[in-house]
Amino acid sequence: MRFLILNKKIFSFFVIVSFILLGFESVSAQEYEFLTSWKADSFAPFWYGGKILPSRGSRVTVSFELLNSGKISNLSNTAVRWYVNDNLAKNERSGLGIKDYSFVVTDYPGNNTEIRISIPNHNGQNLNKIIEIPVVSPEVNIESPNLTLGDISKNAIFKASPFFFNVKTINNLSFQWTANGQTAGIYKGSNILDFNVDPKVGLNSQINLKITAKNLLNEMEFVNKEIQFQLK
């Protein structure tokens, strides 16, 4: 009987100790997760459903929330440090709990701009999150709304769709069209070409259509696009 009582006491002791240890572990082993997003102010058509990417000179805004076991953490009294390409850009000297940062992209197309969010000594842990933001060149696509680009009649409408220029509106872009090296139209603020071929040009002739899209606010930002098709 004494042995049974002793065993019960030992068992109770281990239960209490285990509960205490597990309790401390649940407090210290907190699970943190960064919920991040970023947005570039470069241009894209209203119908574009993809991610708008920055080109050199674009302004990008990055923001985040810190989740603790799925719940948003209060960082109002917490130091947050922002790094761009491993260079310190903003820290607690600018205030505590900074959860968004805006910057102008200086990297060239084909590179990534690296953003690192660092929260030092948060509840005994050093937390870091790295975000890679791809930098691209401006683009322009050509489409014919009613016809395929492989076989075009002598009269057709072409539309240019620009992407990722550093402008607010398409009215800040100019478009120059040429067909086989001859000017087909110059438009400011319009990306539509009413294509009319000289009657002397015969059927089955090959046409090289080229467009140059240029930023009116920055002459160094432009892009060319060419397509080939055959008259029917």
Taking CA 39 as the corner, what is the angle to CA 35 and CA 45, rounded to the nearest 5 degrees? Answer: 135
pLDDT for the residue numbered 19: 32
- Choose one of 108, 134, 160: the last residue of a domain: 134
Q: Which two tokens stand for residue 55?
A: 């080109």
CATH number of residue 173's parent domain:
2.60.40.10
pLDDT for the residue numbered 205: 80
The answer as to whether 18 is a domain residue is no
| Same domain, yes or no: 98 and 143 | no
CB 157 within 8 A of CB 194: yes
- Choose one of 134, 167, 184: the last residue of a domain: 134
| Same domain, yes or no: 224 and 145 | yes
Domain that holds residue 51: 30-134
The answer as to whether 219 is a domain residue is yes
The answer as to whether 7 is a domain residue is no
pLDDT for the residue numbered 42: 98
Q: How many residues does the chain have?
A: 232
Please give the single-letter amino acid code of residue 181. Answer: G
The answer as to whether 180 is a domain residue is yes
**pLDDT tens digits along 81-111:** 999 999 999 999 999 999 999 999 999 999 9
| Same domain, yes or no: 90 and 150 | no
**pLDDT tens digits along 61-70:** 999 999 998 8
| Same domain, yes or no: 110 and 143 | no
Please give the single-letter amino acid code of residue 130. Answer: I
The answer as to whether 82 is a domain residue is yes
Q: How far is CA 36 from CA 127, 129, 138, in A?
A: 14, 9, 25
| Same domain, yes or no: 198 and 114 | no
